[in-house]
Amino acid sequence: NAGVTQTPKFQVLKTGQSMTLQCAQDMNHEYMSWYRQDPGMGLRLIHYSVGAGITDQGEVPNGYNVSRSTTEDFPLRLLSAAPSQTSVYFCASSRGGSGANVLTFGAGSRLTVL
């Protein structure tokens, strides 16, 4: 079982460049989300989706866009990268958006913005 697949695993960008972090899940999960993890800050929710065609903002959405055209895919776009976006990004999915559903995480994408 592939679970949640994130690509790329590592990426270096220059300030102002754009890129997309890919996330795909093969578990038919309705709920998908993106988190960023910085030292001492735990996991902070960027954007989430409770189903195809539905997205909403989390705690730290500025500078990021998402779309959910299919159940399987939930890409995260950085339109104009800034050094403050240097972080490790995790995609996660679950059957639903309640607090009792199990979140399955990808392996993470480490992004450095110079």
Say whether residue 98 binds other proteins (CB under 8 A): yes
Say whether residue 43 binds other proteins (CB under 8 A): yes
Is residue 37 a contact partner of residue 43, using CB atoms and an 8 Å limit? Answer: yes
Say whether residue 108 binds other proteins (CB under 8 A): yes
In this complex, which beta carbon is closest to other proteins, that of residue 44 or of residue 77? 44
Q: 32: which residues sit within 8 A by CB, 6+ positions away?
A: 23, 25, 48, 49, 68, 74, 91, 92, 93
- Residue position matching structure tokens 């093969």: 26
Taken in order 87, 92, 98, 102, is the CA torsion positive or negative?
A: negative
- Closest approach of Cβ 10 to other proteins, in Å? 11
Reduce the DSSP state of residue 85 to 3 states and report it.
Answer: helix
Q: In this chain, which stretch among 15-23, 32-40, 61-69, 79-87 interacts with other proteins, using CB under 8 A?
A: 32-40
**Window 45-84: residues binding other proteins (CB under 8 A):** 45, 48-50, 56, 58-59
Q: State the residues that interact with other proteins by CB under 8 A.
A: 4, 31, 33, 35, 40-45, 48-50, 56, 58-59, 90, 92, 97-100, 102-103, 105-108
